[in-house]
Structure formats: C-alpha cells, structure tokens
Amino acid sequence: MRFSQHREALTFLVVGGSGYLVDVLAFNWLRSQPVLAGTDPSVAKVLAVCVAMVVTYLGNRMLTWRDRPTSDSRRQVALFVLFNLIGLGISVATLALTHDVLGLTSRLADNLSANVVGLALGTAFRYWSYQRFVFAGAGQTSRRRSTTPAATRPATTHPAITASPVQGERA
C-alpha cells in the first residue's frame, strides 16, 4: 500500500470516527427525548445518521478525497446520499433484527446492534462505494480504463510505439 493510500484510509477513518461520534451522540440524545421516547428506535437512528451524513460528506470532500476533482457536484452528492442510505439500511436492518425479531430491547442491545455491528458493516460498504463511485476523480477513471483489454482499446499511431507481434508471427 502506497503512502497516499494509507493517508486516504486513515483520513477516511478519522472522518468516519467523527461521523460515528455524531451518530452515536445524536442517536442516544434523540432516544432520551420525550417526543421520541415511545417511538421505535429506528426513527432516532435515521435522524442521527442524517446529521452524521452532513459531517462525513464535508469531511470526505474536504479532507479524504480533497485532491480528486469534482466535475458534477450534484451527481457526487446524490451518489453520496444514495450510498449513505444503503449504509443506513444496513445499520437499521441490524437494529430491527435484534430489537424486533430477537426481542433484545435494552439500550445496550440497541447500541451494539446499530452502532457497532451495523455501523461497521455500513462503514466497509461506504468506503468501497465512495472510493469507487462518489469521489472517483480523473485518476481513478484512467486507471480503470487502463485495465480494458487491448483488443477494445484504440490503436496508437505513434511511430515510436509498435504493436507486439501476433502469436506465431515474427517481429
């Protein structure tokens, strides 16, 4: 792993850690509010993730992938929100499974399922999707293009570059 990849991963984790703190604090604060006390904890989780989403988008755009150009910020935000909603779905699914299906209804059980297991699975998905689709700059696109099979790449006409001989032919 190159230094830039280490920096990217570490910065993503720091930004994600900040988002995690915002998520957990907001979730627990919302769960303690009288207005939400009688509702399903999934409501508090959804609201907490929305707040954390703003924090993590700004952190990832300004820190983690700051060197990647953005040609269409609306598309970038839309993809960020889409992949965050999928990550949220992962977290809410783990919460619903333990709270509603397994009957583990304590605050500790809710936090472990939503904020440990669900968030860890969601974070792994988010890192992959952000790097691959949301913050994929021009460098990422050209790297993907270079893995295209030679038969589908346009031929070069530069005189200094010669095509390799076809199997069975002499050079």
Q: Where are the domains of the chain?
A: 3-137
Residue 104 to residue 169: CA distance in whole angstroms: 70
pTM, whole model, 2 decimals? Answer: 0.63
| Confidence class for position 7, pLDDT limits 50, 70, 90 | confident
Residue-wise pLDDT tens digits, 58-83: 999 999 988 887 778 889 889 999 99
How far apart, in whole angstroms, are the C-alpha atoms of residue 136 and residue 153?
21
- With a CB cutoff of 8 Å and minimum separation 6, the contacts of 158 are none
